Structure 1
């Protein structure tokens, strides 16, 4: 690692960026987020996770369970993450 001091003044032209319209932003190197990609997103939080997990029998519509299973390994963890996000949003 270098011991060089970090520049204290930004080299970004903030005035030019502030004046830029949405249409002027070049997004050619950013892939579009499609509904299919969004559906595969994983909810992650920096918050501590419960240390103990309880095993429960839970009735879920079969098509919902099959969809989660089709996402691959970790589908139970993904279901837990989504339930946790819902819980935290409704606290």
Structure 2
């Protein structure tokens, strides 16, 4: 099922959520951080960070708070990204 919105000119735009790991990886790269260092700051294993970045592991409320502390991006933002991703997947499964 596709979800759409209209831009200011009335053109239909498809809305597609993405896993929060995509945004996290962009933040890490934009800030020129080492993934190993980020994992240490988040107090998680580097393999767990890699799984998050690949979309294989979700952002929990506890991790969202740690991300807020490290990146200065609110925990609510991280959880909203996760919720949008989860809802999209649930809808795709339900309407498939």
- Common fold: TM-score over 0.5: no
Q: Which has the larger radius of gyration?
A: 1
Question: Could you say which TM-score interval applies, normalised by the shorter chain?
Answer: under 0.3
TM-score, normalised to structure 2, is 0.27
Q: More strand per residue: 1 or 2?
A: 2
Structure showing the higher helix proportion among its residues: 2
